[in-house]
Structure 1
Amino acid sequence: MGEKNWPAELFETHGSRLLAVAYRMLGSAGDAEDAVQETWLRLNRAGPGGVENPGGWLTTVIARVCLDMLRARKSRREEPMDARVPEPVTERRDDPDHDLLLADSVGVALLVVLGRLAPAERVAFVLHDMFDLPFDQIAAIVGRSPEAARQLASRARRRVRGAQAAEDVDRARQRAIVDAFLAAARAGDFAALLAVLDPDVAFRADPVAVRMGGAPEIHGAEAVAKTFKRRAQGARPILVDGAVGLLVAPGGWLRVLLRMTIRGDRIARIEAIADPERLGRIGLTVLGD
């Protein structure tokens, strides 16, 4: 490895893993890139003589950078950490680092759960459960004993599993409500539509959806039910950033997305999104019929 090119060669070998580690810890592609850049700067400052085990050294450094960023993020905000909405990786780039994140993506729902963990818990869980680092190495990163690091990861694991189980139950409930709405709309069953709509439900459409023939705003269950009666024939259930909604994609081309907010057992808000730029930034997962 040439002395002049050694940082670039190391990052060519380890860059994808570093970006993946940082993304899972920080929940933001932009913040992950910042963490990788800071690790690059530290690598340059260390010089080739200061790095005996490149893979372990780089993982340790980026984990410490992410831990510092998580702690700074928490100290700057009075609200809980999960108030920060994770960013799904949706942009396609001609970059193998980003391709790795796309191929081995972490769902928004899991990122939200991770965002509820304390910084040290998140670091311990991600490094051990997702990247199989030993606890003695994690202990040095978080400034705890190996046994304390093990307890951090174990506590985080229990919280993640519990939250994911609750998420699955809630998503099943959302799916049942959205399926009932879709069936009632297609059948033109006005009473059934009213049964799944909150009395004060609000419908809003972005300007592109309005140009397609939709109303910009509709308020009240009866008005919204009349709007959707005998419509949504081509709609399909979908996960919209982890929540159940509907999409309309004739011929496989996504045209309109209906983002739904559910309170209790009724739909309280429906947002029609048709702006291509907005659609490109939303994480979508098509659900089976």
Structure 2
Amino acid sequence: MNISIIDDLKKKKILALLKDGQRVDGRALDEPRPLVIDTGVIPKAEGSARVRLGDTEVVCGVKIQPDKPFPDLGDRGIFICTAEVLPLADPNVETGPPNEEVIELARVVDRGIRESHMIDLTKLVLTKDKSVIGIFVDNTVTDYDGNLFDACSYASVASILSCKVPKWEIKNDAPSLVPDSASAPPITTIPVSVTMGKIADTIIVDPNADEWKCMDARMTITTNSEGNICAVQKGGDDGFTFEQLVKCSELSIATGAKIREILKQVPGGNAC
């Protein structure tokens, strides 16, 4: 039996279950998969985390160093988030430059954290317009079972919460590291992304890999600690009705609050 026939049978099974309000893995429609977070997994990084969302696994590391500010943002530090999917994570992944899906993944994770203002970048300035501190967050997907948006977002947030920012002083017009002076990053909120899939007319939270293949559309919504929506990304060929958009918003707030309580348990998470 070839792969296309197997995928077609899986899709028919998923659609049949959804009509009865059930999912292929037994979860409720609004139930995310179990989330496990381990921090400090990369000793040489300033912060790191391994996240397992169901069977999707991501390892994230944070690198912090002095850098030149962006030309129009000389009064704040730098934040950049990247993503990579290793070939060992999924048989369909090939080596080489990132494809459009991976580029979108990095941008969605970056935007959710950036637009929530999780990090007060104004406190990472060494010399205005000349020297600032850059925080670089790199996600590596080691096992794929759907919904990389949320898995990478949780890994990034956990890594940032648990990281330590070294201190630099300006000497002779250049940054100089102050030994043994690292401190917690200037955290203002804990952003949480929640991705929902639309299959036929049913909305589900945190689609696994089989459900991901069946989706007609998806929506990733990031909220801050106050439950306010700060970033939205829509994908897929189909659209959402107004009622479905409202439902996605409500799901993102309710589910995000539960995930946030888990993130608060990581080192540095109780700061917000």
**Greater gyration radius:** 1
Q: Which has the higher contact order (CA 8 A, sep 6+)?
A: 2
Which protein is richer in strand relative to its size?
2
TM-score (norm 1): 0.26
TM-score (norm 2): 0.27
